[in-house]
């Protein structure tokens, strides 16, 4: 069989027609997404449009009313079958997803790791090196700045080599001055680690800077999807134009 005959492998993450209603209102209304390993997709839209609810369903901490979620072509969740969150091989990073204050930086990063002590230590050192925080390896979270803590949180999330990385406004608590640097560093680390990344943000800037693909969301629906340049230069409608020109 030649490479040409090979069937195309399934995407790392595929979400089909997810719907979630609260009090009769569909806050996520038929959302479908497909993300390859190594790809960063930004779910971009104004506050309240349903981004976090979408992400929480993929994480498995919120149940959909209908729709399916697949990882590498395997069903992990529909309305009757459900792989529990801790078995989904998903890394999480939120704005306020705090480090464990009583654990050292090294133990925070090692938290989700299994196996031999020296292998775990090697992985922790590798990741702390990549986020430029090796010098804090035996320090504690309170000794770090907000930006440094988020870098440790990133290292912790990536340590077990998740197949999918879900990030919900991970930089929005940070100072403007710090944000560009941490976005760039985060992006280069994500690219090395080969997870499918879904990054939720309400900031067009962030999506333009980090995304391979933008999924523009409004009132529970994805209204446009494509490469950042295309979405930015050819917004689907007036509301998309207004959203991009708003200073957030």
Name the site residues for ligand ADP (rule: CB under 6 A).
22, 27, 45, 47-53
Instruction: Give residues with Cβ within 8 angstroms of 142, minimum separation 6.
Output: 101
Q: Give the residue with the Cβ less far from ligand ADP, 15 or 127.
A: 15
Which listed option, ligand ADP, Mg ion, none, makes contact with residue 179 (CB within 5 to 8 Å by class)? none
How many residues sit in the footprint of Mg ion (CB under 5 A)? 1
In the complex, the smallest distance separating the C-beta of residue 64 from ligand ADP, rounded to whole angstroms, is 13
Alpha helices in 17-145, H assignment, sequence order? 51-59, 105-110, 117-130
In the complex, the smallest distance separating the C-beta of residue 45 from ligand ADP, rounded to whole angstroms, is 6
Which listed option, Mg ion, ligand ADP, none, makes contact with residue 156 (CB within 5 to 8 Å by class)? none
In the complex, the smallest distance separating the C-beta of residue 223 from ligand ADP, rounded to whole angstroms, is 13
Which listed option, ligand ADP, Mg ion, none, makes contact with residue 170 (CB within 5 to 8 Å by class)? none
Whether residue 66 contacts residue 21, with contact meaning beta carbons closer than 8 Å, is answered with no
Handedness of CA 40, 31, 208, 47 (dihedral sign): negative
- What letter does residue 10 receive in the DSSP assignment? P
83, 84, 97, 163 from 87: Cα distances, Å:
6, 6, 19, 11
Q: Give the residue with the Cβ less far from Mg ion, 145 or 248.
A: 248
For residue 200, list its beta bridge partners. 43, 168
Which listed option, ligand ADP, Mg ion, none, makes contact with residue 48 (CB within 5 to 8 Å by class)? ligand ADP
In the complex, the smallest distance separating the C-beta of residue 97 from ligand ADP, rounded to whole angstroms, is 15
Q: How many helices (H) and strands (E) does the chain have?
A: 8, 10
In the complex, the smallest distance separating the C-beta of residue 111 from ligand ADP, rounded to whole angstroms, is 26
Q: Give the residue with the Cβ less far from ligand ADP, 41 or 108.
A: 41
Of 196, 205, 203, residue with least CA distance to 166? 196
In the complex, the smallest distance separating the C-beta of residue 57 from ligand ADP, rounded to whole angstroms, is 10
Which listed option, ligand ADP, Mg ion, none, makes contact with residue 100 (CB within 5 to 8 Å by class)? none
Does residue 54 touch Mg ion according to CB under 5 A?
A: no
Stretch that binds Mg ion, among 23-31, 38-46, 47-55, 129-137 (CB under 5 A): 47-55
Of 112, 72, 106, 75, residue with least CA distance to 93? 112
Helical axes 146-158 vs 117-130, angle rounded to 10°: 130
In the complex, the smallest distance separating the C-beta of residue 83 from ligand ADP, rounded to whole angstroms, is 22
Among 11, 15, 20, 52, binds Mg ion (CB under 5 A): 52
Whether residue 220 contacts residue 49, with contact meaning beta carbons closer than 8 Å, is answered with yes
User: Residues in the site for Mg ion, rule: CB under 5 A?
Assistant: 52
């Amino acid at each position: 069989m030649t490479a040409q005959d090979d069937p195309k492998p399934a995407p790392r993450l595929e979400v089909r027609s997810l719907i979630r209603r609260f009090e009769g209102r569909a806050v996520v209304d038929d959302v479908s997404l497909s993300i390859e390993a190594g790809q960063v997709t930004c779910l971009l839209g104004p506050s309240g449009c349903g981004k976090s609810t979408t992400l929480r369903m993929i994480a498995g901490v919120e149940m959909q009313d209908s729709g399916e979620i697949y990882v590498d072509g395997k069903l992990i969740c529909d309305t009757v079958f459900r792989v529990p969150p801790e078995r989904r091989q998903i890394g999480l990073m939120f704005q306020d997803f705090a480090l464990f204050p009583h654990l050292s930086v090294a133990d925070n990063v090692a938290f989700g790791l299994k196996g031999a002590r020296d292998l775990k230590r090697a992985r922790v050192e590798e990741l702390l090196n990549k986020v430029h925080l090796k010098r804090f390896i035996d320090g504690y979270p309170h000794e770090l700045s907000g930006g440094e803590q988020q870098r440790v949180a990133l290292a912790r999330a990536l340590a077990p080599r998740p197949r999918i990385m879900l990030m919900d406004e991970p930089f929005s608590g940070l100072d403007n001055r710090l944000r560009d640097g941490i976005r760039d560093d985060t992006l280069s680390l994500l690219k090395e680690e080969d997870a499918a990344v879904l990054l939720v943000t309400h900031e067009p800037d962030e999506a333009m800077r980090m995304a391979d693909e933008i999924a523009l969301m409004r009132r529970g629906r994805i209204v446009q999807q494509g490469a950042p340049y295309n979405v930015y230069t050819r917004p689907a409608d007036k509301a998309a134009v207004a959203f991009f020109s708003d200073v957030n």
